[in-house]
Structure 1
Amino acid sequence: MNIILIIGALLSSGITFVGPSSVARGEYGEIKLFQSPATYSVESMVLLNDAGRQDKEVGYKIAGSLDVQAVWGIDSDFLLKFTLNSPKLLARGKLVTADYLPIKSIWDSYYKTEFYAHWKNGIITNAYLNPDEVTDVLNYKKSLISLFQLQIIDGEHNETDVSGNCDVLYDSISMQIIRKIKTKCKHPDTKDSSEGVTSRRLTRYTLSEKLDAIDEVHAEELHTAGYQELNAAIKARAWMRLRRDGVPRTTATKYPDFETAIAELPSNLKPVELPMLMTEDVLDNELSLEEAINDVVLDDEEEEAGGGGGGRARTAQAGLRALRALRNATQDHIAAILRAQSDARSLTAVCRVLGSAGSAHTHAGVSRELALSERDAPPPATHYLHALPLAHAPDESVVLDLVRLGTEARCGAVREAALLAAAASAARLANHAPHLSHTLRDALSKHLARCLDDECRALVARALGNLQRADTAELLLEQAERGGAAALHALQALQALPHEAIGPARQRRLAALAASMRPLEVRAAALDLFLVRAAPLPPPLVLARLSHELHVHAPAELRRLFWQRAHQLAEEHKPLADVLAMLAPEQRGWNALAISGTSSALVRPLGMFGVGGGRLESLQLTPGGVLRRGTVRLNVDGTPAPLLAIELWTRGLESLTGGVKSSEGGAEGGAEDEEEDMSGGLALTVGGARLPSVTLFDGQAQLLGHVWAGTGSTPTPALRALQPLGTRSAALPLLAAGTLHLHSHSAVALALDAQAQVSLWSRTALSELELRVGAASEARASLHLAGGTLRAHAQHAAEPRLRVAAHLDFYDRMALCVKVSTEDHVRRSNTTLHSELGSTQRKVRRERLLEVPQPGRTLALGPLNDAACNTLIA
C-alpha cells in the first residue's frame, strides 16, 4: 500500500523521468529567443572528395558576419532582420596543405545586404529576399535563414527549409544543447529519385546560459553516391558554423505591429519560398551521339581484326557513353545512324546498344528502318530484340509494341525474340508499371490455350519464366506435370519465379515429379528445384519419402545429384541438415552415398568477379559419361539475377561415343531399346532474361558434317551482350552551396566464345569455353555555381576471365576431365577532382589511382575429376 501511495505522489507531482540520452526541455524553464540583437561570425565550407579518402579534396569556404535583430515581436512570433556583412570566397591552391585564402569573386559586390524572415513558434513562415540577386547568394541566404528554424519541443516533426520538405527529429542532449536530424528530404522541384544516395543532415544548437539566445549553430550535410565497394564513390560534404561574438554596430528600427513592419520592408525584397533554387546540370566532356556510336563500332571492328575485343572494360565504358547520348536522341536521329552503317557487323553492334537503351524513340527508329514486322526483317533485328530485355528501364510503349510483335510479326525468329523480350521487360518494370505485367500474364495465358504443339507451349513457358510472376506458378507446374517436350521448359521457368511462388503444396508436387517415371532430365530439374525451394524450411515427411523412393527405384545418376545438392544446401540451411540427419541409416550411410556415375552438382566461389563477389553453380547430368543436360550459372553480387546462365543439351550421342544407351535418359513413353535422334542445343540466360535457344545440330549427318568440316574448332562467338546494371541520377540541394548533381552508372560487357574439336580416329574430344566480362562503373558529382565549379569523377574497371575446358576420351571406356579456372586480373579505380573558383577561375586538379590485383584460381571439382585430369592431360 505504501508503494502505491509513493508512486501516486510522484505522478501527481509532475516529475518527468528522462532517459540518459536526452533531457526534457520543461525541466529548465521557458526558452525565449531573440530577446536582444546579436552578431554572428559565419563560416561555411563545401568539399568534394573520393568517398574512401579523408584528404586531397577540392572545395571552398565562405566567411563573413551576420547581424540578427527582431524588428517586431510578441511572445514566440518575430520578424527577424538579417544583415550579411563582408562575405568572402576563400580557396586554396594545388598543394593539399595550403591554407584557404580570399580570392576575387561575385561575393565582393555583396558587401552588406539585408533580408528578413518571419519566425513563429520555431518555424520560418516567410522569407523576404531580393529575387534579382545571383542564385548563389539567394541560396546562401536561404541556408542562413534555415539555421534559425528551431522548434523547442523534442520529438518528430515535419518542416520545410532550404533542403525541401523533411522529417525532423529534435533531441535535447543537455540544458543548452539541442540536436536536429533531418531525413527523407524531398525538394518540390526535383523529379530525380535519391535512390542510391546516402545522406546525413545534422544540426547542433547551443543556447545561452539564460536560454534567451542562440550562442552557436553547427550544421553539416554529407551525401555519398556511387560504388563504395568498388572504390568508385563520391562524397559531398558541406557545413555552416555560426558563433555569437558581439552585437550589431547599429540597432534596427522596431515597429509596433507586424503589418507596419512588413510595409516598411525595402521595395526590392519579396516573399520567396524557402527551398533552394535548383539549377540544371551542365554536362561536361559528353560525347555527341555520333561520336559515342562510332566508339562502339570501332571497338567491334577491333574484335574482328583480332584485337581481343568483346568483354572488355572499354567495351562497357563505350556502351555507357552511348546509352547516355541516346537519352535525348530523336526517332529521325536513330534512323539516320542506322542508315549510316556500312556493313552488317557494324549494324549489329549498333543494334545491341540501341536495344540496351529501351527508349521509345530508339524503338520507333529501329522499327522503321529494320522492318521488324515484315517477313524479311534483317538478322540485326533479332540482335536488337535480344538486347532489349537487358535495358535497365524500358519504356512502357516499347513493351506493348513487343507484345504486338510477338503475335503479329511475320518472321518466326522475330516473334519468338519479341515475346521473350516483352516478358523480361515487363518484369523489370513490375514495381513502376504493374499493369504491364498483368497484361503480359493474360496475353501469355491466352497464347498457351491456343497452342497446338509442344514447341509453342515451350515458348510460352520460357516467356512466363522471363515474366517472373508468382501467380503463374500453377500454370507452369501443370505444364510440367502434363509432360512432353515442354515439361523441362516449364520447370526452368518455375526456377525463375519468386521464392513464395512455390509453397509446401507445390513442393510436394515437385517431389512427386522427381520420383515419377519421366525422362531423367525432367526428374533432375524437378529434384533440384524442390531441394532449393524446400531447403529453408524442409517438409520432413515429404523429404523422407522422396529419399526412400530415390534410394529404392531411382537410377544412380539421380541419387548422386540428390545427395550432392542436398549437402551443399545443408551447409547454408540448418533445418535441411537436421532433416537429413533424421533419415533412415540405410539411406544416408556411406554405402548409400558411395554412388557410381559421373553426374555432378557443384557450387564454387570465384572471388571478386567484376562488380562483386562471384559464385559458380553447375548441374551436369551425364548418364553413361555422356552429357545429356548441363547448366552453369554465374552469380555475381550486385546484380539482381544471375549474370549469365548457360544450358547445353544433347540427345542420342551414346552410339557416337561407343557407349550403350541407358534407359535412364530415354524419351518419355519410348521403348527401352529405342534409339534417340542425335541433336543438341544451347540456351543462354543473361541478367535473368532467357534468350531464344540455338540448335547446334539436328541429326547424325549434320553433327558429322560439323566434325569433318571442323566447325567451331577455333574460338567462335556465342554471345555478345551489354548489360546495364543501373543508372541513377539525383539533384540535391546542398547546404550553403547550390544544386548538387549526382550520377552513377554501371554496366558489364559479356563475351562468350566456344570451340570444340572431335577426333573420331583417336576417339577424343576437346571443348573449351571462355567467358570475358568487362565491368565498368562510374560516379560523377558536380556543383555549378556563379562563383565557380566543383566536379568529381570516379571510375572502376575490371576484366575477369573464366575458362572451362572439357577433355573427353571414349576410346575403350568413357573418361572425362573438366578444368574450370579464372585468370589473374587487376581492378583499377581512378578518381579525379576539379575545381574552378573565383573571378579568375583558379583551377585545381587532384587525382587518385588505385590498382588491386585479383589472383586467378583453379576450381576443385572433386577427386574423381582430378584423377581423370592427371591421366588425360599428363
Structure 2
Amino acid sequence: MTKLDLKNEDQIDLCERYLWSLALGAYPNSEVVKKLFSTYKKSSHEIPAKLNETTLLSLASMSYKLRQTIGSVGKEVSQKIKRYILEKLREYKGETSFPYLRAIKNLKSQTTIPDLLKKIKEGTLKEGVFTWKALKAFGKDNWTTEVKSVARKSFLQLDRKYDTSSRTIASEILLQSNPDDKTLNEMIYYLASNDTATEVKQYVLQTIRMLAEDDPQLEESVLRIIKSDKRLNNYSVLNPRGLSTAIRRHFTKSHSGSGSLVSLQEISSSVVKRGVVDILWSKKEGISELVSLGIFTSGLTSFMSSETEETDEEPMSAGIELTVLGNQLRPFVFFNGQGELMGHVWSGTASDRTTANQALTMLQDHLELLRLGSGFIVELELKGAVSLDLAGKIEISLWGRTADSVVEKCAGIFLSGSMKVDTSFVRSQIEFTVTMEPQLKLESDLDFSSNMKCCLKFSQVDVLLKHNIYKIERIVGSKHKLRIAKYKRSTIPGVTYSLNRKNNRMCSSNYQ
C-alpha cells in the first residue's frame, strides 16, 4: 500500500490489478481501506480517469463487505465512504455522475434508494439507465413499494419520457418482485397497447416467458389473463415485431445446486443496444451471480436505418461492462465518436483476437470449526479460484458490406475442500478437488449488402468436469496409513442456444 502511486500513469495497469484484488477479497482489511480512502480523497483530481473510477468502485465494494462484518472500525469507514459517494452524486450531473452511480451499484446500501429515485425523476435519460442498473443490483429484498411504484411509472412512461433501457430494466424489476395480479395484468395488457416501441414489447414478452418457465404459479397467472380476453389471445399481441430476447438455460445440475446462463438482449433498429450475459449458481439458500458480461452501444442506429423509433442524438460509442462476484469493474470503452470508430474500421484494429480483460481471483475462502457431540473438533475448509479471460474480435468489410464479430468468455475454475478430525490418537481427513474450464461464445454475422440480415449465435463448448476425492487416515504411534482415491470425469456437452424464431430464420438465410 505504501508503494502504491495512484498519480503515476505508468503504473495504471498494476494499480488497477491491485485494486481489483482488494475489491474481490472476501474479508477486506479496514485499516487498508481507511488509508486508501484517505489517499483518494486528498488526490482524486490528480488521479488518471480510468484509475480514479477503479479506485472509487473498489472502495464501494469493500465498503459493502465491511458493513457485513462485526466491529465498529469497519462500519465507521464504510459509513464515511457511503457519505462521500452520496455527496458527490448530489453535486454532479450528467456524465460526471456516472462513476458515482456505478459505485452505488457496488455499495448496495438501502439508505441510498431515496437519492436514486430522485435521480430517476429529475436526471437525464442516461442517468436514469445507470440508476436502474444500480437498483436492479440491490436485489428484490431491497425493492421497496416506492421502488416498484417508480418502476411502474418508468416502464409505462406515466410521468415523463424514459430511455428504452430504463423501461426494460424497470419491467424486469416488476416481474422479478413477485407481482400481484393487478401489476401482471397491466404489463400483459401493455403488449396490446399502441406503443410504437416494439422492441420494448418484445423484451417484456420474452422476459415473461423466461420467468414463467421456472415459476409454475407465474405461468398459470399469465395464461389465465391471456385466455380471458381475445384482445390478448391472438397472434399480433403474442408475436410482436422485434429481435430482443431473454432466455435462461441450465448447463449443469447437481444435489448441491445448479448452474444456469441468462442472456438478455435489448435491440434497437437491429443493433444490440444493451446486452447482458449472466452466469448464475442456484441453491436452496438463493441465487449467486458468478460473472456478468454487459455490452452497451449508443448512436449506431443510423448505420442500420434512417428511421428510428426514437430520436438518438447520442455520440457513437460501444463497450463492455464486467461484473465479477457482484463487483462491477469500470467499463471498457471500444470507441467514442464516429472518428474513433472509422479509425478502427480502416486500420482493422480488432481483426485479431484481442483480450479485453484477464483476472485471477478468489472464488471461495471459508474456514469453519465444528464441535461434535463426542467432543472432537472437525475443521471444514473450502477454497476456490477462478481465472477469467474476456476477449473478442471483429472484421468489417466495407467492400462486401459485411461484419463478423466474436466475443469469448473463458474461465478456469478450481475448488479445493477438506474435512479433518485431528486427535491425539488418530488423524482422519477427506479432501476433494474440482476443476473445469467453461467457455462461452457470442458470434454475430451481419450482412448489409441489400436487405439487412443479422445472425446472432450464442454457444457453449464441451466442458470437462474433473472431480477427485481422497480419504486419508493415520493412527498416531503406528505404521497404519490409509489413502483411498476416487476420480470422476464427466463431460457437459456443448450447445448452441436458440434465441428466437426471427433470429433462426435470419441465420438460415445467411448461410444458404
Normalised by the length of structure 1, the TM-score is 0.53
CA distance in 2, matches of 1:731, 1:641: 24
Q: Which residue of 2 aligns with 1:399?
A: 33
AA of the residue aligned to 2:246: A
Q: Which residue of 2 aligns with 1:474?
A: 114
Task: Quote the offset at 1:504 in angstroms.
Answer: 3.2
CA distance in 2, matches of 1:496, 1:796: 29
Q: Matches of residues 592-603 of structure 1 in structure 2 within 5 Å? A: 592-603=237-248
CA distance in 2, matches of 1:742, 1:373: 43
Specify which structure has the higher proportion of helix: 2
CA distance in 1, matches of 2:416, 2:492: 20
Pick from 441, 463, 484 the counterpart of residue 803 of structure 1: 441
Pick from 473, 490, 515 the counterpart of residue 131 of structure 2: 490
8 A contact 2:140–2:176 mirrored in 1: no
* Alignment of 1:423 onto 2:92: no
Q: Which residue of 2 aligns with 1:175?
A: none
Q: Which residue of 1 aligns with 2:303?
A: 656
Q: 1:708 to 1:582 in 2, by over 3 A?
A: same
Q: 1:508 to 1:731 in 2, by over 3 A?
A: closer
8 A contact 1:681–1:697 mirrored in 2: yes
AA of the residue aligned to 1:628: K
Q: Which residue of 2 aligns with 1:514?
A: 155
Task: Quote the offset at 1:489 in angstroms.
Answer: 0.7
Q: 1:599 to 1:839 in 2, by over 3 A?
A: closer
Q: Please give the root-mean-square deviation of Cα atoms over the aligned residues, in Å.
A: 2.8
Q: Matches of residues 157-172 of structure 1 in structure 2 within 5 Å? A: none
* Alignment of 1:643 onto 2:290: yes
* Alignment of 1:626 onto 2:260: no
Task: Quote the offset at 1:771 in angstroms.
Answer: 1.6
CA distance in 2, matches of 1:505, 1:789: 57
Q: 1:697 to 1:549 in 2, by over 3 A?
A: same
8 A contact 2:365–2:383 mirrored in 1: yes
8 A contact 1:830–1:848 mirrored in 2: yes
Q: Which residue of 1 aligns with 2:472?
A: 834
* Alignment of 1:562 onto 2:204: yes
* Alignment of 1:438 onto 2:76: no
Q: Which residue of 2 aligns with 1:544?
A: 186
8 A contact 2:251–2:492 mirrored in 1: no
Q: Which residue of 2 aligns with 1:578?
A: 221
Q: 1:616 to 1:844 in 2, by over 3 A?
A: closer
Q: Percent identity?
A: 25
Task: Quote the offset at 1:494 in angstroms.
Answer: 0.5
Q: 1:544 to 1:741 in 2, by over 3 A?
A: closer
Q: Which residue of 2 aligns with 1:752?
A: 390
Q: 1:772 to 1:575 in 2, by over 3 A?
A: closer
Structure 1, residues 99-146: CA drift from partner, whole Å, max 9, x if none?
xxxxxxxxxxxxxxxxxxxxxxxxxxxxxxxxxxxxxxxxxxxxxxxx
Task: Quote the offset at 1:697 in angstroms.
Answer: 0.6
Q: Which residue of 1 aligns with 2:20?
A: 386
Pick from 458, 469, 473 the counterpart of residue 820 of structure 1: 458
Task: Quote the offset at 1:492 in angstroms.
Answer: 0.3
Greater RCO (CA < 8 Å, at least 6 residues apart): 1
Q: 1:705 to 1:796 in 2, by over 3 A?
A: same
Structure 1, residues 454-509: CA drift from partner, whole Å, max 9, x if none?
22321111111111122222221221222313221111000011313323333222
Q: Which residue of 2 aligns with 1:120?
A: none
Normalised by the length of structure 2, the TM-score is 0.88
CA distance in 1, matches of 2:223, 2:347: 51
CA distance in 1, matches of 2:510, 2:39: 50
Task: Quote the offset at 1:662 in angstroms.
Answer: 0.4
* Alignment of 1:779 onto 2:417: yes
AA of the residue aligned to 2:289: P
Q: 1:394 to 1:873 in 2, by over 3 A?
A: farther
8 A contact 1:778–1:793 mirrored in 2: yes
Q: Which residue of 2 aligns with 1:335?
A: none
Task: Quote the offset at 1:645 in angstroms.
Answer: 1.5
CA distance in 2, matches of 1:640, 1:396: 28
Q: Which residue of 2 aligns with 1:454?
A: 94
Structure 1, residues 221-251: CA drift from partner, whole Å, max 9, x if none?
xxxxxxxxxxxxxxxxxxxxxxxxxxxxxxx
Where do 5+ consecutive residues of structure 1 fail to align? 1-366, 668-674
Pick from 227, 233, 236 the counterpart of residue 591 of structure 1: 236
CA distance in 1, matches of 2:65, 2:294: 23
Q: Give the match's secondary structure for 1:464.
A: helix
AA of the residue aligned to 1:419: L
Task: Quote the offset at 1:375 in angstroms.
Answer: 6.3
8 A contact 1:724–1:747 mirrored in 2: yes
Q: 1:681 to 1:661 in 2, by over 3 A?
A: farther
Task: Quote the offset at 1:579 in angstroms.
Answer: 6.0
CA distance in 1, matches of 2:405, 2:233: 36
AA of the residue aligned to 2:221: D
Q: 1:720 to 1:608 in 2, by over 3 A?
A: farther
Q: Which residue of 2 aligns with 1:280?
A: none
Q: Which residue of 2 aligns with 1:527?
A: 171
Q: 1:469 to 1:550 in 2, by over 3 A?
A: farther
CA distance in 1, matches of 2:506, 2:26: 44
CA distance in 2, matches of 1:856, 1:764: 28
Where do 5+ consecutive residues of structure 2 fail to align? none
CA distance in 2, matches of 1:468, 1:800: 29
Q: Matches of residues 21-100 of structure 1 in structure 2 within 5 Å? A: none
8 A contact 1:754–1:769 mirrored in 2: yes
CA distance in 2, matches of 1:428, 1:450: 26
Q: Give the match's secondary structure for 1:628.
A: strand
